Homo-oligomer: A and B are copies of this chain.
Amino acid sequence: MTIAPKEFDFQVARLRLERKAKSASEKLTTLEAAAARVNDGDHVAIGGCLYSRTPLALIWALLRRRPRGLTLSRNLMSYEGEWAVVAGAADKLVTSWMGIGLPWGLSRIQREYVESGRLEFEEWSHLALGLRYRAAAMGVPFLPSLTMLGSSLMDVGGSKTVECPYTGETLHAVPALFPDVALLHVHRADRFGNGQIDGYPHMDADLARAATTVLMTAEEIVSDDEIRRHPDRTVIPGFAVDALVHVPYGSYPHECYGRYDAEPAHFTVYVDGIKERGAAGVTDYLERYVYAPRTHADYLALFDEAARRDAAARARMLTT
């Protein structure tokens, strides 16, 4: 059993949340100040999915602080998981799948680190991990489900079953996962942290409720009035958000629905580095893209501006 009581203990998780200020006040800050809220050893849950709406700006700022002993969880883990492992920031990943996508093959870093015993890899089914976040978002220690029953995945985290008191059937009691921190990137927010997402929502709304501390970047900071004009588009309540940073292209070169497309060519260059030099390829990449640029603007400047404009044009075409 690798799940720890801290992950599913809803009473302790609630008391942590009760102590947090939930005031409708200014949440705007810098990437640096936001990232400083993550402590060594924290469980950090990452929003978006695979190469979509990944909070890359927050991950960039976090890795620059050279954190240690983190556990990262995400529904489908992309290369941010490789970064954290190779950077020595994380020693445990919790996810249902790791890679980038079909054209790039398996994650060689995942293989190499898991097979050599340097990385703990806790695997759940995609829905089970989603239900872990949702149980936490609902403030309960588990949710019943049929998924994962009968599979070897039941043993990985230490899943237990529960008997339905009405029907007598046995269900998977999917344990809650209350992360210490959630990192999210959304389309727009007001300065109080009320956040709106366009397109597929992934699991971000659940993450914002499940975590004790919520760090969020937004493509756009809009007025209070603008949020109030479309309150039915708000999916993250301001009182859940601890730090908000305005970061256009905050998940680039991953995609942001309707704003910019992903850059598969960049993924290929990244993966080629690993194919050629293994983990050293990641180290080189981190040096160039994470540690060298002193600001997020410097980071973005490493990408071709015409490519960014083109990614934006593709996104508009794909969503209209």
A198-B232, A199-B232 given; A165·B144 CB < 8 A: no
Which B residues lie within 8 Å of A8 (CB)? 166-167
Residue from A143, A165, A320 whose CB has the most chain B CB atoms within 10 Å: A165
Number of copies: 2
B143 touches A143 (CB 8 A): yes
Question: A104 in the interface, Cβ–Cβ < 8 Å?
Answer: no
Which of B140, B175, B198, B229 is in CB contact (< 8 Å) with A171? B140
> A156-181 toward B: CB 8 Å interface, digit per residue (1/0)?
00001110111101010101000000
Question: A2 in the interface, Cβ–Cβ < 8 Å?
Answer: no
A171 vs chain B, min Cβ distance (A): 7
> A130-161 toward B: CB 8 Å interface, digit per residue (1/0)?
00000000111111111000000000000011
Which of B143, B162, B167 is in CB contact (< 8 Å) with A10? B167
Question: Closest residue of chain B to A258, judged by CB?
Answer: B232
A17 vs chain B, min Cβ distance (A): 14
Question: Closest residue of chain B to A144, judged by CB?
Answer: B140
Question: A200 in the interface, Cβ–Cβ < 8 Å?
Answer: yes
B164 touches A165 (CB 8 A): no
A238 vs chain B, min Cβ distance (A): 18
Cα separation A139 to B10 with both chains bound (whole Å): 24
Which B residues lie within 8 Å of A11 (CB)? 167, 169
Cα separation A301 to B93 with both chains bound (whole Å): 64
A140-B145, A145-B140, A232-B198 given; A166·B171 CB < 8 A: no
Question: A9 in the interface, Cβ–Cβ < 8 Å?
Answer: yes
Which B residues lie within 8 Å of A138 (CB)? 145
Which B residues lie within 8 Å of A231 (CB)? 199
A169-B11, A199-B232 given; A141·B164 CB < 8 A: yes
A160 touches B165 (CB 8 A): yes
Which of B141, B199, B232 is in CB contact (< 8 Å) with A200? B232
A162 touches B165 (CB 8 A): yes
B144 touches A143 (CB 8 A): yes
Question: Closest residue of chain B to A231, judged by CB?
Answer: B199
Cα separation A179 to B221 with both chains bound (whole Å): 43
Which B residues lie within 8 Å of A140 (CB)? 143-146, 171
A11 vs chain B, min Cβ distance (A): 7
A9 vs chain B, min Cβ distance (A): 6
Which B residues lie within 8 Å of A145 (CB)? 138, 140
> A35-71 toward B: CB 8 Å interface, digit per residue (1/0)?
0000000000000000000000000000000000000
A167 touches B9 (CB 8 A): yes
Give 6 new A-B contacts, CB below 8 A, not counting A160-B165, A162-B164, A201-B232. Answer: A5-B167, A140-B145, A141-B164, A141-B166, A141-B167, A229-B320
On A, residues with C-beta under 8 Å from B are: 5, 8-11, 138-146, 160-162, 164-167, 169, 171, 173, 175, 198-201, 229, 231-232, 320
